[in-house]
A and B are shown apart, each in its own frame.
Chain A
């Protein structure tokens, strides 16, 4: 059960490899990775991610603890970056390890749904035309209802 909030890039391959190979009680590992999506016009210069130091870590740990209560998880890893990111850079990843795949898949989806709307991060997109804060989607809030 690890939560990391960092400015630096992470090595997705190495993180998932390390995570999977240190498991002794799990038969299933699921990974989700979020990357910076370019605008439809293809003119995204950068994304700036702001967060609330202190609350970010505690909110992610609380979401993680809830997932552990609900599913048979043997391990989990959440990495989320902040600062300046360019198109296609990795923003965040979650990995879950469980004895069987259903728990690993569902817990990963739960972690994603909650950290989208309940972890204190805010994204701002910069294009040549200016900058705009990314607005939270109603669908993301609705996604929490199914849990």
Chain B
């Protein structure tokens, strides 16, 4: 089980801020592929992953990052702090 978090318009498009996902995905990209197959709202949110950023266990990373041992994955648009 892995906690998957969504922020900003990704959260709005998917319709929830956080969920637990049962997965055997090896990488973030594999997890995205699994989520996209679930429902249209997931497919819409992950349609263009170049518009998304990802953090594994609260560290920014790439979509090819392995998920072995990960507890938390978060998807969000580019950040707009300051």
A binding-site residues for B, Cβ under 8 Å = 34, 50, 52, 54-55, 58-59, 80, 91-92, 112, 115-124, 133-136, 141
A-B CB contact pairs (8 Å), 10 listed: A34-B82, A55-B58, A58-B58, A91-B82, A92-B82, A116-B82, A120-B74, A122-B8, A134-B80, A136-B79
**Chain A positions within 8 Å of B7 at CB level:** 50, 52, 120, 122
Q: Interface residue tally of chain B, by bracket? A: 10 to 19
The reply to whether A54 and B58 contact each other, CB–CB distance below 8 Å, is: yes
The reply to whether A52 and B80 contact each other, CB–CB distance below 8 Å, is: no
The reply to whether A120 and B79 contact each other, CB–CB distance below 8 Å, is: yes
B binding-site residues for A, Cβ under 8 Å = 5, 7-9, 55, 58-60, 74, 76-82
**Chain A positions within 8 Å of B8 at CB level:** 50, 122, 124, 133
The reply to whether B74 and A135 contact each other, CB–CB distance below 8 Å, is: no
The reply to whether B79 and A121 contact each other, CB–CB distance below 8 Å, is: yes
The reply to whether B55 and A52 contact each other, CB–CB distance below 8 Å, is: yes
What is the distance, in angstroms, from B52's C-beta to the closest C-beta of chain A? 12
Give the residue of B9, B55, B80 whose beta carbon is less than 8 angstroms from that of A55. Answer: B55
Give the residue of B5, B60, B74, B81 whose beta carbon is less than 8 angstroms from that of A80. Answer: B81
